[in-house]
Amino acid sequence: MTGTMDTKGKVFKLSVTTLAIMNITAVVSLRGLPAEAVYGPSSAFYYLFAAIVFLIPTAMVAAELAAMFADKQGGVFRWVGEAFGPRTGFLAIWLQWIESTIWYPTVLTFGAVSLAFIGMNDASDAALASNKVFTLITVLAIYWIATFIALKGLDWVGKISKWGGTIGTIIPAGLLIVLAIIYISTGGHNNMDMSQGFFPDLTKLDNVVLASSIFLFYAGMEMMGVHVMDVNNPSKNYPKAIIIGSLATVAIFILGTFALGLVIPAKDINLTQSLLIGFDNYFRYLHMSWAGPVIAVALMFGVLASVLTWVAGPSKGIFTVGKAGYLPPFFQKTNKQGVQRNILLVQGGIVTILALLFVVMPSVQSFYQILSQLTILLYLIMYMLMFAAAIRLRYKMKDTPRPFRLGKGNALMWIIGSVGFAGSLLAFVLSFIPPGQIQTGSNAVWYSVLIIGCIVMVVIPYIIYAMRKPSWRDPDTEFAPFASEK
């Protein structure tokens, strides 16, 4: 279906502006701004570089693939599976799901920090935010609340996600930028080291690794590919919406990062607390300290909405694939609302176990960083598979109609696909290097978690695939077979 029906029975199409805004809200998150603020002016270089070699290629390639298989379910499982076979396709959708599962404790850590800063005493708030037990309890509480809401069905998810995204992300982002403008225009002290310049010192790998996390800032843009057929004249208007959305996203990230850098010295930046501290510093400067707890509540609500959206998303994707015979019947069970109950409960169990790692890591910040790096590594493997699949399908399924196509021949796909693959590979390699700016504890623990974590998460789907049985396939599944299976 290439659109939704309005109340008069006409096919509704998205405008360029609407699709651009959808792209922005799907990608923009404020929790990662402190990670880049330590780089000062050179953070702008990283944002622009990642947008050129990752954000735009991801959006454009996903658009062609989504339009190509608009009448078939599966998303990245379908795209990669048609190119390299169902086993590799299952690896791709597994990575998309497990990456989001591991990601939850990192974003929920930010939610715990937001909750800690609801108080009026900055010192006690910061101490509470660094408390492992408080963080653990809060992470688990928010996650299981989100899971409970997700089990109620998409109606609840949609309402909370809509309002949470507006109150907890869009409004705070605009407010942070406005506060920075007021601060600097009224003589506020600039704490950003402007001597660093726009171009970073790329000879220091430990300075580059933290910036590789910026690729995950832009993750999720491939989800927007499903809307490629929901716009008029997609070959012209979809790229236009992507460019507008990408430019706006980059602008928000750059201005938001600069806003933090202006009011917090680089040496004092903390990955989990600095966004709240930045707001507090601005409010104190403007004699509006009462507003700090208000923004903390808003940001926590935004975290709940973000987690809720992802809890209901990737789990639904792997549930659909499971019903096609790739997961045991246990994982295909639903509640009376039709929600993938057992997958959500297993997902919750994994999140709970990961959250318990708080007790073995040297600090909340180190836990946050190492889990963030693991999610980046897993997601980047999926993206490399997606870029490779797009190029391969130009030859394997060259006669399949492509309502949205990158270029008339294959040259443009080779260029964009190769740039995206190379950018993902570069970020993948850099993500193994411990960042010099953040204390992550023992390097042995760092490398062990990342290397063993990647190996285990890649091997598991192959084991599940090898164990699959014909009885696993739901006879009522709507998943169409791959072209090679017909």
Structure token digits, residue 45: 């270089």
Residue 176 confidence (pLDDT): 94
Q: In 10 A of CB 410, how many CB atoms?
A: 14
Angle between helix 171-185 and 234-263 (nearest 10): 50
Cα–Cα distance, 89 to 80 (Å, whole number): 5
Residue 247 · residue 472 · CB < 8 Å: no
Residue 422 confidence (pLDDT): 93
Structure token digits, residue 290: 């009462």
Helices first, then strands: H and E counts in the chain:
20, 2
**For 5, which DSSP code?**
E
Residue 283 confidence (pLDDT): 94
Residue 412 confidence (pLDDT): 96
Angle between helix 443-467 and 364-396 (nearest 10): 40
Cα–Cα distance, 294 to 283 (Å, whole number): 11
In sequence order, what are the beta bridge partners of 12? 4
Q: What is the pTM of this model?
A: 0.82
In tens, the pLDDT along 114-160 reads 788 777 676 787 788 778 888 888 889 989 998 888 888 767 776 77
Residue 36 · residue 257 · CB < 8 Å: yes
CATH architecture of 4-485: Up-down Bundle (1.20)
Phi first, then psi: what are they for 11, rounded to 5°?
Answer: -75, 125
Cα–Cα distance, 426 to 424 (Å, whole number): 5
Phi first, then psi: what are they for 406, rounded to 5°?
Answer: -85, 100
Phi first, then psi: what are they for 8, rounded to 5°?
Answer: -95, 5
Residue 440 confidence (pLDDT): 58
Residue where the block lists tokens 């045991």 = 328
Residues in the chain with pLDDT < 70? Answer: 1-12, 120, 122, 154, 158, 205-213, 223-227, 229, 271-272, 358-368, 435-441, 486
Residue 3 confidence (pLDDT): 46
Cα–Cα distance, 402 to 64 (Å, whole number): 7
Residue 409 confidence (pLDDT): 92
**For 95, which DSSP code?**
H
Residue 438 confidence (pLDDT): 54
DSSP string, 333-394: ---TT---HHHHHHHHHHHHHHHGGGGTSS-HHHHHHHHHHHHHHHHHHHHHHHHHHHHHHH
Instruction: Say whether 443 sits in a helix, a strand or coil.
Output: helix
**For 330, which DSSP code?**
G
Residue 223 confidence (pLDDT): 67
Cα–Cα distance, 132 to 313 (Å, whole number): 29
Residue 359 confidence (pLDDT): 57
Q: In 10 A of CB 197, how many CB atoms?
A: 12
Cα–Cα distance, 439 to 149 (Å, whole number): 36
**Angle (nearest 5°) at CA 436 between 435 and 437:** 95
